[in-house]
Amino acid sequence: MIVSKNKKKTFQGMSYRELQKHNSENRIELSPEDQKWLKENGYKNIGWDNVINLYRNIQDFLAKYQVKDLTLEELFLEADRIGNKYQTEDEIQDFNQKLAKELNEIAEEIDRQFPQTEMEIIDFSQNTKSNPTKKRNQKTYRTTKI
The 3-state DSSP class for residue 11 equals strand
At 95-108, the pLDDT tens digits run 899 999 999 999 99
Using DSSP, state whether 139 is helix, strand or coil. coil
Report the number of distinct structural domains present in the chain.
2
Other Cβ atoms closer than 10 A to 62: 13
Q: Is residue 28 part of a domain?
A: yes
Residue 30 in contact with residue 54, Cβ under 8 Å? no
Decide if 129 is inside a domain.
no
Residues 10-24: pLDDT tens digits?
A: 888 888 899 999 999
Last residue of a domain, one of 36, 68, 100: 68
Based on the domain organization, do 27 and 62 belong to the same domain?
Answer: yes
Do 53 and 88 lie in a common domain? no
Whether pTM > 0.85 for this model: the answer is no
Structural domain containing residue 44: 16-68
